[in-house]
Amino acid sequence: MTGRVDSHAMLEVITMDVLQQGAAGSAPPASRADSNAPVAPPMLSPQTAWRVLCRRTGGHISRATFYRWVSEGKVLSIRLGIHIFIPRPSLEELIKRCLAGQRF
């Protein structure tokens, strides 16, 4: 699971969701909490994700290396405007790969 999702793609998904609901005449957004809609994974800032990675792997991965992995798409990241977020499941996968000794 590598790569980045930009804000335009996220906006497109949200727009499609809203349009489909309007066409289907679904319930108002307040009642959507009851639905079986997927819940978005918790997001972490790159700084927090890097700290968790260093703590959980017991080793030291430089901050510059982690940010390089994010920019190269080796760590899944979502960019919304100027903000970058790392999904928690993506970080967990990265931790497992590091603990298994896989190289990037």
pLDDT of residue 77: 94
Contact yes or no for 53/98 (Cβ under 8 A): yes
Tokens 């000794």: give the residue: 101
The token pair at 42 is 């918790």
Phi, psi angles (nearest 5°) of residue 103? -95, 155
**Quick check: 86 pLDDT over 90?**
yes
Separation CA 88–CA 76 (nearest Å)? 10
Instruction: Tell me the per-residue pLDDT of 6-39, one tens digit each, with 9 for 90 and over.
Output: 555 554 544 445 445 544 444 455 555 556 767 7
Task: Supply the pTM of this predicted model.
Answer: 0.61
pLDDT tier for residue 91 given thresholds of 50, 70 and 90: very high
Q: Of all helices (H) and strands (E), which one includes residue 96?
A: helix 88-99
Distance CA 12, CA 69 (A): 26
